[in-house]
Structure 1
Amino acid sequence: MGYRVAVVGATGAVGREILKTLAERDFPISDIAALASGRSTGTEISFGDKRVLKTQNLEKFDFHGWDIALFSPGASVSAIHAPRAAAAGCVVIDNTSHFRMDPDVPLVVPEVNPEALAGFRKKNIIANPNCSTIQMVVALKPLHDEFRVKRVTVATYQSVSGAGKEGMDELFNNSRAIYVNDPVTPQQFTKNIAYNVIPHIDVFMDDGATKEEWKMVVETKKILDPNIAVMATCVRVPVFIGHAEAVHVEFELPVTAGEARAALRDAPGVTVIDVREDGGYATPAEIAGEDDVFVSRIRKDPTVENGLAFWCVSDNLRKGAALNAVQIAESLIAQNLLSQPKAA
């Protein structure tokens, strides 16, 4: 018997990717509901190759009798409806930022801290981390296990799909406008994103960091180790799908590039493409649609003791969002943490 699964925010970029991922991975489902706002009710969405779902109104949906709800509707919507679903006995896996730093809500990347799932019953909610944090901690985990990460400095190069379909539309429209010499008016971003890079994602905080940068700091500490120092600079780039990161790490123990490369090659969810020649590295355009975090340019950082630098890329809609959420649900099943599936 399969599980009764609801996908909240089903008409968005991540919601559609969640439905696609559930179908591709043959997740055990007996019944599935696609939920969205009232204005999207009735919209048809593909689930697998042969099935089309009609979206239902989230505000009117009764979560009683449903096993799992995968949320990606925006933080303010999750704040209202995720606790409602959890109170109805439905396990919530939330992709928004709202619950991530709640001490009673596990923040989970299955390749990194699956043991954290044990405490999810406190609120019946599990948080999916930020996309840029996910790919970094997947790459850092095998290195931390062997050499103990002390400090991380990271610069991100984040695609416009991190801002949803509207961000992707703006890159397309602005690129076309520049090409035909039409005026460009930014809407989703603070400046024109076409043929440009913007060192500003989310709101500014009192210390000058943006909230996206703050997320990488606090989420890395919660997921991997509270003693790790993190400094992040997050940049939006004119790429449709796929985030990239330049990561510089200081370790407690000595490490060579060869030792790091070997540890990463053996790690779950990681693919190493690291050949010191033209094209011997991964880029966002090449890994769109892939599940793994791809690590390249592994090399010694001679400016600090026990230092290492690497480049990592990942599909932010898959591993950075939809896939990680589905993997959390799979981990709950594997660890026998879910109740028996409810009858449809």
Structure 2
Amino acid sequence: MGYRIAVVGATGNVGREMLDILDERGFPADEVVALASRRSQGTEVSFGDKTLKVQALEHFDFANADIALMSAGGSVSLEWAPKIAAKGCVVIDNSSAWRTDPDVPLIVPEVNADAVAGFAKKNIIANPNCSTIQLVVALKPLHERAKIKRVVVATYQSVSGAGKDAMDELFNQTRAVFVADPIETKKFPKRIAFNCIPHIDVFMEDGTTKEEWKMVAETKKILDPKIKLSATCVRVPVFVSHSEAVNIEFEEELSAEEARNILREAPGCLVIDKHEPGGYMTPYECAGEDATYISRIREDPTVDSGLSMWVVADNLRKGAALNTVQIAELLVNRKLLENRKAA
């Protein structure tokens, strides 16, 4: 049985990646429809060896669609996800709009696949923040073995996490530096070329940014509400892939060697950890890859049971589009869509 899939936000970075991944993974779709705002109607996007013409979201009838993969921003999702879900189409949303809703499961398939069954309450499933996804993929197998008490993470997040305009800004500013043109700043509060900006999303009352708050709230919801987490999120002049320096404190003793062996066997993880120049993964190298890469695993002598490690993943793939498609595969493989229709 094939499914009818609607990709909402098909003209954006993540939407295009979703289309590529649906084709790459041979998702059992009888039809894939590309949707976006009315101003993008008629735009052509690629789906495998086919070209799809983008249709307007507001004119599409979701009654005959099975799954809507959404990556159109929080305001669009808040308005449209309930309307789409009411038609019987399951929404898998990539924005932050539904992540903290207690009736909406927040899913990373390698971490909490069983929670996907909770989608039936609202017909909506939330995809976590990109920086959270790669973090919990790496933390889950270690948490199962030694129980995590506390995590301190500093992120090094690529500009693609802020959209195509942000990527264009990095490109244009970098070129301007070399030809001595004026630097124009539009998307970011400060120049991003050859710089780092310790500010992602809006500031909150306690001095954290919303991106940092998301990592805390989402890790607790996905993995364990008892875990204490502190994050510092930084935008860096990299086009694709997020990196994270992660420090973990455990309840039980866990050596670096045992952690390395556990992560080598863990779903979604790839360990590249040679103690030599170049024996680690960088964001450039993991762009276009599906795995969460883990390097620099070592014991932290400042706490009784602690490890430090370096975690890198493609934020457009595992951090967004791939995770969304994997959730759709969960629905199919566990026959949850058929069960819903039967009910």
Q: Fold conserved (TM > 0.5)?
A: yes
Structure 1 segments unaligned to the other structure (5+ residues):
none
- The one-letter code of the counterpart of 1:191 is K
What letter corresponds to residue 27 of structure 1 in structure 2?
F
1:106-158 deviation line (CA, Å, top 9, x unaligned):
00000000011111100000000000000000000000000111100000000
Per the alignment, residue 269 of structure 2 pairs with: 270
Alignment match, 1:260 = 259
More off after superposition, 292-301 vs 182-191: 182-191
Q: Which amino acid aligns with 1:126?
A: I
Q: 1:145 to 1:341 in 2, by over 3 A?
A: closer
Distance 2:82 2:44 in 1: 27
Counterpart residue number, 2:206: 207
The alpha-carbon deviation at position 15 of structure 1 amounts to 0.1
Counterpart CA distance in 2 for 1:314 and 1:117 is 23
CA distance in 2: counterparts of 1:127 and 1:134, whole angstroms: 12
Check the 8 A contact 1:178/1:184 in 2, yes or no: yes
CA distance in 2, matches of 1:260, 1:123: 38
Matched with 2:38 is: 38
Aligned to 2:183: 184
- Cα deviation, 1:46-93, whole Å, max 9, x if unaligned, reads 001x10000000011110011000000000001111111100000000
Paired amino acid for 1:91: V
- Match in the other structure for 2:63: 64
Listed one character per residue, the Cα deviations across residues 141-181 of structure 1 (whole Å, up to 9, x for unaligned) are 00000011110000000000000111100000000011111
Q: Displacement, 1:339?
A: 2.1
Aligned to 2:75: 76
Q: Which amino acid aligns with 1:284?
A: P
- Looking at structure 1, the residues matched to 321 and 107 of structure 2 have their Cα atoms a distance apart, in angstroms, of 13
Q: Note if 1:238 corresponds to 2:240.
A: no
Residue 22 of structure 2 corresponds to residue 22 of structure 1: yes
> 2: distance between equivalents of 1:222 and 1:302?
29
Structure 1 outlier segments of 4+, above 3 Å: none
1:11 and 2:11 correspond: yes
% same residue: 67
- Structure 2: give runs of 5+ residues left out of the alignment: none
Q: What is the SS of the residue equivalent to 1:111?
A: helix
User: What RMSD, in angstroms, separates the aligned Cα atoms of the two structures?
Assistant: 1.0
Q: Does 1:311 align with 2:321?
A: no
2:20 maps to a residue whose letter is K
Deviation per CA, 1:279-321, whole angstroms, max 9, x where unpaired?
0000000010000000000000000110100001000000000
Residue 227 (structure 2) aligns with = 228
What is the CA–CA distance in structure 2 between the aligned matches of 1:150 and 1:334, rounded to whole Å? 34
The residue identity in structure 2 corresponding to 1:5 is I
* Structure 2 Cα separation of the partners of residues 138 and 302 of structure 1: 24
Q: Specify the alignment match of 1:149 in structure 2.
A: 148
Q: Which residue is equivalent to 2:2?
A: 2
The offset of 1:340, in angstroms, is 7.4
SS of the residue aligned with 1:117?
helix
**1:338 partner SS:** helix
Instruction: State TM-score, norm by structure 1.
Output: 0.98
What amino acid maps onto 1:28 in structure 2? P
The letter for the 2-side match of 1:73 is A
1:167-202 deviation line (CA, Å, top 9, x unaligned)? 100000000011111111211111000000000000
CA distance in 2, matches of 1:326, 1:238: 28
Contact 1:67 1:341 in 2 (8 A): no
Distance 1:341 1:22, change over 3 A: farther
- Which amino acid in the other structure matches residue 33 of structure 2? A
Aligned residue number for residue 174 of structure 2: 175
Cα distance in 2, alignment partners of residues 207 and 144 from structure 1: 28
Residue 341 of structure 1 and its aligned partner are, at CA, apart by 11
TM-score normalized by the length of structure 2:
0.98
Asked if the contact 1:4/1:341 (under 8 Å) is kept, the reply is no
Q: Given the superposition, is the C-alpha separation of residues 218 and 340 from structure 1 closer, same or farther in structure 2, using an over 3 Å criterion?
A: closer
Please give the alpha-carbon distance, in whole angstroms, between the structure 2 residues aligned to 1:314 and 1:341. 34
Question: Which SS does the other structure have where 1:326 is aligned?
Answer: helix
Q: Tell me, in whole angstroms, the C-alpha distance in 1 between the residues paired with 2:96 and 2:224.
A: 19
- Partner amino acid for 1:334? N
- Measured in 2, the distance between the counterparts of 1:57 and 1:341 equals 27
Query: 3-state SS of the aligned residue for 1:45?
Result: strand
Q: Is 1:125 matched with 2:131?
A: no
Partner of 1:339, secondary structure, is: helix
